[in-house]
Amino acid sequence: MDDLEQAIQSPGGENCKVNQVRYNVANRGIEFDLVPMMDKYDMPVIAYSPIDRGDSFGADLTKQQVLKDIAEEHKADVFQILLAWSIRNGKTIAIPQSSNPDHVLNNVKAADISLTDQELKHINDAYPEPDAKQRLTLW
């Protein structure tokens, strides 16, 4: 966060238009202080690794029941739910990696999924928002 603030305040800093960071349901640390600061500058997040396969405890996100249940409700797969969650606020750009054309087409369908408040609550219960500053997860 300090680096971004310094870049914005330096000469030419007004040209900082986006920030690319790791962001997904299992890596939400940026929500505590970085996202609010970026909101102040109307700067969107580019989320890399939005379909992170593992949470902070090493559990495969695609096997988590809460995400599977939500996917079933939307006749979608867990990958689409993870992407839909990432872009839920309309200010985040998700860039999932895929070299498979079918996966890319499937990922695009996530933009048509609107998660309900109740579904977001279930995700928040399983993967809570940070309540303190966290170290930025790079990998």
> Could you give the CA distance from residue 85 to residue 51 in angstroms, rounded to a whole number?
10
pLDDT tens, 47-63? 988 887 655 544 688 88
Amino acid at site 12: G
Look at the block and give the residue holding tokens 């495969």.
60
> Could you give the CA distance from residue 102 to residue 122 in angstroms, rounded to a whole number?
29
Provide the 10 A C-beta neighbour count for residue 90: 6
When pLDDT is averaged across residues 64-91 and rounded to a whole number, the result is 96
Query: What's the pLDDT at 19?
Result: 93
When pLDDT is averaged across residues 61-78 and rounded to a whole number, the result is 94
Q: At 37, is the secondary structure helix, strand, or coil?
A: helix
**Bridge partner list, 42:** none
Q: Please state the pTM of the whole predicted model.
A: 0.88
When pLDDT is averaged across residues 100-120 and rounded to a whole number, the result is 95
In contact, 123 and 66? CB cutoff 8 Å? yes
When pLDDT is averaged across residues 109-117 and rounded to a whole number, the result is 97
Query: What's the pLDDT at 63?
Result: 87
Query: What's the pLDDT at 56?
Result: 53
How far CA 115 is from CA of 33, 52, 73, 128, in Å, comes to 24, 19, 10, 16
Query: What's the pLDDT at 3?
Result: 85
Comparing 91 with 134, the larger pLDDT belongs to 91
Query: Domain 2-126: what homologous superfamily?
Result: NADP-dependent oxidoreductase domain (3.20.20.100)
Query: What's the pLDDT at 85?
Result: 97
In the chain, alpha helices (H): 2-9, 34-40, 65-73, 78-86, 101-108, 117-126
Amino acid at site 84: A
Residue 1: pLDDT over 90 = no
Query: What's the pLDDT at 60?
Result: 82
- Look up residue 89 and give its DSSP letter: T
